[in-house]
Structure 1
Amino acid sequence: MSLLVFAFLIGVIAGLRALTAPAVVCWAAALSWLPLEGTPLHFLASPITRWIFTVLAVGELINDKLPKTPSRTAPPSFIVRIITGALSGAALGASQHMLVGGLIAGAIGAVAGTLGGHACRVRLVKATGGKDLPIALLEDAIAIIGGFLIVSHLP
């Protein structure tokens, strides 16, 4: 599979959970699955960056379950997802000298993940009689496991 497909997919993960994608990318860089040395995004391999994104991602997982959390399709949230999808996709692309292509693919994936994830969650919540928490937890698992599957199988 092409690296740009992986960049798109990590963008989809950002659309599901905005901060999970960059946290996963940071861990991939730390585990040497994603070579970022010598690229403009080498800072993602830093322990400080990795832990900041990890703490923020855990906070997002908790915040998503709160009743007053705005929709992911609200402009501020949507924009953050596009930015983190683009950053994460760019990191995957940068590892193989395709930074701009990865950035674009990641941003497009974030749009698809945001809109598709929202539509799926709404339908699944309706199908389960309005129970949001189980669907939110399922979405968390998909984002975390999917993110690690993506970065651990890079071409």
Structure 2
Amino acid sequence: MAILVSAFLIGIIAGLRAVMAPALVSWAAGLGWLNLEGTSLHFFSSAITRWLFSLGALGELVNDKLPKTPSRKIPPQFITRVVTGALSGAAIGASRESLVGGLLAGAIGAVAGTLGGAAFRGWLSRTISNDLPAALIEDAIAIFGGLLIVSHL
């Protein structure tokens, strides 16, 4: 049961920052915190996978602050978050022989994180009358929340 909670929570991280979740899961697998040996998601353990996801996550952190970045709730961005949440959740689930459960929990978490994250950031931006600090706070939540999740697998 706890593994499905972790998969759901990493899905929430994907809802906040789409590429952060698979980057952190990949680092967890590469560092041996998450055993994916013998699973179809073993590629998460690869150094190349870690660095590609990490570069994508860094790019996303920058892109999120640009004025022309579209809403996370439009179909392409929303779908991407659900897919990366599901994939990250599936990897967490696969480490305990619950790939499908992890996939579903990660996808559901990504929906919650996408909608909840947008609402939270909108509220915070209005409250402080500035989107940049709200975005940076959301970045910190995604990074440190995700690290907390994967470090306790």
TM-score above 0.5, yes or no:
yes
After superposition, residues 1-155 of structure 1 pair within 5 angstroms as 2-129=2-129, 131-154=130-153
Structure 1, residues 93-152: CA drift from partner, whole Å, max 9, x if none? Answer: 0000000000000000000000000000001100012x0000101100100111110011
Q: What is the CA–CA distance in structure 1 between the aligned matches of 2:15 and 2:24, rounded to whole Å?
A: 14
Q: What is the CA–CA distance in structure 2 between the aligned matches of 1:85 and 1:55, rounded to whole Å?
A: 18
Matching residue's letter, 1:56: G
| Gapped regions of structure 1 (runs ≥ 5) | none
Q: What is the CA–CA distance in structure 1 between the aligned matches of 2:128 and 2:117, rounded to whole Å?
A: 16
Q: Secondary structure at the match of 2:133?
A: helix
Structure 1, residues 35-56: CA drift from partner, whole Å, max 9, x if none? Answer: 0110000001001111000000
Q: Secondary structure at the match of 1:48?
A: helix
Matching residue's letter, 1:64: D
Deviation of the 1:2 alpha carbon: 1.1
Matching residue's letter, 1:83: V
What is the TM-score when the length of structure 1 is the normalising length? 0.97
Q: What is the CA–CA distance in structure 2 between the aligned matches of 1:146 and 1:32, rounded to whole Å?
A: 19
Point out 4+ residue stretches in structure 1 off by more than 2 angstroms: none
Q: What is the CA–CA distance in structure 2 between the aligned matches of 1:124 and 1:20, rounded to whole Å?
A: 21
What is the TM-score when the length of structure 2 is the normalising length? 0.99
Q: Give the superposed CA RMSD.
A: 0.7
| Gapped regions of structure 2 (runs ≥ 5) | none
Deviation of the 1:31 alpha carbon: 0.7
Q: What is the CA–CA distance in structure 2 between the aligned matches of 1:34 and 1:151, rounded to whole Å?
A: 8
